[in-house]
Structure 1
């Protein structure tokens, strides 16, 4: 059982590791030190649902509705462009009194944004339902495949909580408006780059 679990952990970790919109948002909230636990729990639990569905064969639905990835992609493009514009606008305004004071949007607004980054991102479906689901078929159904899924889900929890709380190590350099402005410019450009990549 240990080998499938390790394979699942390593596979999921490698897929999540790439810096994307969701990771950037978790990092930003971690730096602000607000709503970190609930946001990390939302992201990890969402991954757990999708990974479980992928391991159980939910990817078959995509073959029944081949147009679904296209609709998800355009929804993701729209969201990424808007959020990227908001971050660039925030950098231009330079009003970071809330962040410097350790405050941010409300819990529900933060979770809604985190949910959008998770569920409107077509790559998350490719990674969890398709890729992890496909790799899980290398193991016999039953306990070995379940161990693979548990390893993948555990990896997601380790990654998101590590990212959210590990961001605090960067807190000393995020004590100025200029540092937050640079971060928002970088995040805004990453969002737009990801949106353009989805379009292409």
Structure 2
């Protein structure tokens, strides 16, 4: 049982610890110290729903109807490009380059943005539903131990990134650091978005 849960933990971390749209957004908001808990909980709840669905067998559904993924790719690609343009505008405008400056997110807007960055990303379905669901089901009745390991990975990562980002706050007290971060996020979102549309 323990080794199955450990496998789930390591597999979950391998998939989730990557610089993507969701993690970049959480990192930025963690540094700002703005709406961190709602974002973390939204990320975590999304993983709980998607991974549990994959383990319960939704991965098989996606394998049988692959036409769902291209639609998600187009929507996700367009959204990521729009998000990248917004990040580029933040990098360009001096008012958005301090931990206090820039437009503050309400709880509702933070949750909606997090949901969009998560659920409009087809890689989220491939990783959380299809891949983890397939691997989990290879353990048979022990698949729920695998699920517990992957959900622990999500819990550790999202809370660690969201609240650990504040350790970088001193560095990001300088406007130039925010400019670099937002420029990097803009490039990353653009590349990911174009990549999704190209597929």
Moved >6 Å (runs of 4+): none
For 1:124 and 1:69, the matched residues in 2 are separated by 11
Equivalent residue, structure 2, for 1:173: 171
Structure 1: which 5+ residue stretches go unaligned?
none
Please say if residues 39 and 111 of structure 1, whose CA atoms lie closer than 8 Å, have aligned partners that are also in contact.
yes
Please say if residues 34 and 102 of structure 1, whose CA atoms lie closer than 8 Å, have aligned partners that are also in contact.
no
Count of residues in correspondence between the two structures: 198
Please say if residues 55 and 129 of structure 2, whose CA atoms lie closer than 8 Å, have aligned partners that are also in contact.
yes
Cα offset, 1:102, TM superposition: 9.3
Structure 2: which 5+ residue stretches go unaligned?
none
Query: What's the C-alpha RMSD, in Å, of the aligned pairs?
Result: 1.5
**Alpha carbons of structure 1 residues 97 and 16: separation in structure 2 relative to 1, 3 Å:** closer
Cα offset, 1:66, TM superposition: 2.1
Equivalent residue, structure 2, for 1:183: 181
Please say if residues 9 and 151 of structure 2, whose CA atoms lie closer than 8 Å, have aligned partners that are also in contact.
yes
Equivalent residue, structure 1, for 2:190: 192
Cα offset, 1:164, TM superposition: 0.4
Mapped pair 1:71 → 2:71: yes
**Alpha carbons of structure 1 residues 163 and 121: separation in structure 2 relative to 1, 3 Å:** same
Task: State the SS of the aligned residue for 1:183.
Answer: helix
**Alpha carbons of structure 1 residues 184 and 41: separation in structure 2 relative to 1, 3 Å:** same
Cα offset, 1:60, TM superposition: 1.9
For 1:21 and 1:158, the matched residues in 2 are separated by 18
TM-score by length of 2: 0.95
